[in-house]
């Protein structure tokens, strides 16, 4: 009996470590690899404690060349077809009023 009791602690510890490992890995939506990001306003200045100035996502994320704002925003979710507008010739001859495939310019 005494010998079996000695096994309890390591087994429990093992189970706990196992579940901690699972929990630790399962919630791992990769966070920002470059660390914390300073909030910046429209002019690119850091937002001071107590300020009520709106932060600028463009300055916050793209300042210092961290992210290429122009490239990122050329994706479809941002343009919604604006960069695919075609009037002459129309995209669809039977629907000449449809200028783009997205929400912008499509009717």
Partner 1 sequence: MKCGSCHPGAGPAEFSRDKDPNDPTGQAYLPYYDESTGQFGYEVLGKSASDVYSEFDGDYTFLHPMFMKYMNAPWNATGVSQADCLICHMEGYSWFNRTVTLGAGPNLFMVTGYKAFQSAPAAGAGWATINMNAVVMMPGQLPYLNPQAASDFAIDYDLGINSGTLSYDDPNNPSYYVIPAEVIVKETPDQNCWNCHGTPDVRKYGRSWESDTDAHNARGVFCVNCHPAGEDAPDPKIQGHEKHDFAKGTSMIGSVRDDLDGTMFDCEDCHVKGAYPGAPDPATAHAQIPSFHFGKIACESCHIPYKEDSVITPTKEDPDLVIDMSFNGNQVIYPWSSFFDNDPVDPTAHDSSAPSSRWYPSLVLFKGKIAPAKPLLTIWWGEWNGKTDPDEIVVQPYPLWQVRLALQTDPTTGMPQNPVVQGALTNDSNALAADGSDPYEVNTTAEIAAYIYALKTATIQVTDGGPDGSGTTPITKTGLGSNPVLVKGCRIFYLADDGGTPDDPSDDTIASFESELAEPHNFSIHHNVQPSYRALGAGGCEDCHRVGSPFFERKMLICPWDENGNPVYESAYEEVGYSEGELEELTESVPEEESPSLGSSECFIATAAFGSPLEKHVKVLREFRERYLLTNPVGTLVVKAYYALSPPVARFIARHETLRAAVRLALYPVVGIAWASLYHPGATALVLFGIGAAAIVVVRRKRSVS
97 and 107 Cβ atoms separated by less than 8 Å:
yes
Structure-block tokens of residue 73: 């925003």
**Of 48, 64, 65, 89, which lies in the binding site for partner 1, with binding defined by CB under 8 A?**
48
39 is an interface residue for partner 1 by CB under 8 A: yes
53 and 47 Cβ atoms separated by less than 8 Å:
yes
Burial of 2: CB neighbours in 10 Å, binned 0-12, 13-18, 19+: exposed
**Of 5, 64, 71, 88, which lies in the binding site for partner 1, with binding defined by CB under 8 A?**
71
Residue 14 CB, nearest distance to partner 1 (Å)? 24
Q: Which residue has the tokens 């039977």?
A: 94
67 is an interface residue for partner 1 by CB under 8 A: yes
46 is an interface residue for partner 1 by CB under 8 A: yes
Interface ranges with partner 1 (CB under 8 A): 29-39, 42, 46-49, 51-58, 60-61, 67-69, 71-83, 93-97, 101-104, 106-107
């Amino acid at each position: 009996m005494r010998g079996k009791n000695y096994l309890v602690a390591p087994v429990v510890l093992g189970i706990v470590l196992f579940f901690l490992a699972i929990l630790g890995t399962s919630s791992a939506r990769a966070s920002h690899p470059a660390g914390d990001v300073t909030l910046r306003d429209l002019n690119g200045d850091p937002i001071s404690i107590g300020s009520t100035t709106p932060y600028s996502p463009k300055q916050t994320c793209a300042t210092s060349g961290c992210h290429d704002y122009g490239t990122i925003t050329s994706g479809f979710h941002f343009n919604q077809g604006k960069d695919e507008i075609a009037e002459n010739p129309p995209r669809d001859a039977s629907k000449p009023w449809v200028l783009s495939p997205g929400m912008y310019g499509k009717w």
